Amino acid sequence: RAPRRSGDLPAMMPGSRLRCAAAASRYADRVEPAPTGGARQPESPTKCPDGELPLLPLAASCAAIVALTAALAGSPASAQVQILDPPDLEAAAFSDGEFLSLYGDRSAVGFQPGALDRAHHFLRRLEVITEAFNRWSGVAVPVVGYLVDREKWNEMQMPGLYGIPLRTSATAIVLPSRGDDETVRMWRSILGVEQLPLNPGEPLRGTSEEAASLAIVDVLAQVEAARAFALQAELVADEEWIGEVAAHLAARTLFADVEPAKLGAIDFVYDRIYERFGGERQHALAEFRADGLVGEVADAETWLWFQGAFARAARVLHEQRGRKSVKHLKKLSDRGRLDGAGLRDAYPGLAAWLDSAFR
């Protein structure tokens, strides 16, 4: 396989680039029309007054497909961009011409026909995520998302549960393209609720509960993207839990900056996961494996419990230093102090968390 040049985005699914004209004609009925008078465009690419993700017009996404190489070549920040080739699993699964692609400045989304609205929404999220990560660390962190339906997920024999995003390489995430009755039932069962939080209201397709199940998926996907950031920004250490807390902290900091109205619901999700799967001292910290999410429900429950625990730790760090907390971790890393002892010294509340959370 030929090496990828720095600054190139790969053709993730060979022969499947989405052309602007085809997208406009074939999928026009699946894209929500702008309200009369034009949609409000936020002044900042990373903030919106109402706490929602900023709008990235569909035309801009399509134009990026045509002009991406030139745009990247002219951007100083993008000179560092290097997206890895998909691993063998993805290369085989996504090479059949069934998938289409949308490209942003630092990220890309592959999706099946019929999921353009979902792909466009998730690309906007990835663009906000990767722009913030680059701004915080000076390190380019490109991320690729693959959206698949349940049938394709099963056909590909993906490990893990449909309804929980799966990171398949340093920069690639596979996640559901749509919610369904099963994703709703699964998340109701996990959280022990009759009505899911993060309900966005009536979606373009499906029910509001199905859309809420996808919203929970996207919360977890933001952490998966942040794991790529933690790796690239060297916020990982010999102790695996440190990289996990750093990833949750980066994801939380971004939610606080861009979608602060969702923080309460996000905390509720992680707290319920943590409590429903055993609460304090259910596991020893040494039991954690970053790649521990596999198909068996018991392992998924263990992995989810740890996510709830790490989310709580990230809350402790964020409460102490706010939006400066991620940059502070980077400083600790640069000084060689990003370890258990260094974090305990810098964040007294973290020691209490370590003592109370684990066996």
Q: Which phi-psi region, left, alpha or beta, contains residue 234 (left: φ > 0; alpha: ψ -120 to 50)?
A: left
pLDDT in the model for residue 124 = 95
Round to whole Å and give the CA distance between 20 and 36. Answer: 23
Tokens of 254: 């971004």
Round to whole Å and give the CA distance between 128 and 226. Answer: 12
| Other CB atoms within 10 Å distance of the CB of residue 176 | 25
Cβ–Cβ < 8 Å for 81, 72: yes
pLDDT in the model for residue 137 = 82
pLDDT in the model for residue 39 = 35
Q: Which phi-psi region, left, alpha or beta, contains residue 160 (left: φ > 0; alpha: ψ -120 to 50)?
A: left
Give how far Cα 299 sits from Cα of 15, 277, 292, 295, Å.
37, 11, 7, 7
Round to whole Å and give the CA distance between 30 and 112. Answer: 13
Indicate the SS3 state at residue 12.
coil
Check the CA dihedral 198-202-204-210 and report its sign.
positive
Round to whole Å and give the CA distance between 313 and 349. Answer: 9
What phi and psi, each to the nearest 5 degrees, are found at residue 132? -65, -45
Indicate the SS3 state at residue 310.
helix
Round to whole Å and give the CA distance between 247 and 288. Answer: 15
pLDDT in the model for residue 204 = 73
Round to whole Å and give the CA distance between 78 and 91. Answer: 24
Cβ–Cβ < 8 Å for 182, 162: yes
Nearest residue to 130 via CA among 251, 248, 35: 251
Tokens of 258: 């861009």
pLDDT in the model for residue 178 = 94
Round to whole Å and give the CA distance between 233 and 137. Answer: 6
pLDDT < 70: residue spans in the chain: 1-97, 290-298
Type and span of the H or E element at 305: helix 297-321
Q: Which phi-psi region, left, alpha or beta, contains residue 52 (left: φ > 0; alpha: ψ -120 to 50)?
A: beta
Nearest residue to 164 via CA among 220, 244, 93: 220
Cβ–Cβ < 8 Å for 314, 242: no
Q: Which phi-psi region, left, alpha or beta, contains residue 58 (left: φ > 0; alpha: ψ -120 to 50)?
A: alpha
Tokens of 184: 């709703």
Type and span of the H or E element at 111: strand 107-111
Measure the N-to-C terminal CA separation of the chain; round to a whole number of Å.
46
Cβ-proximal residues to 151 (8 Å cutoff; 6+ apart), any chain? none
pTM over 0.85: no
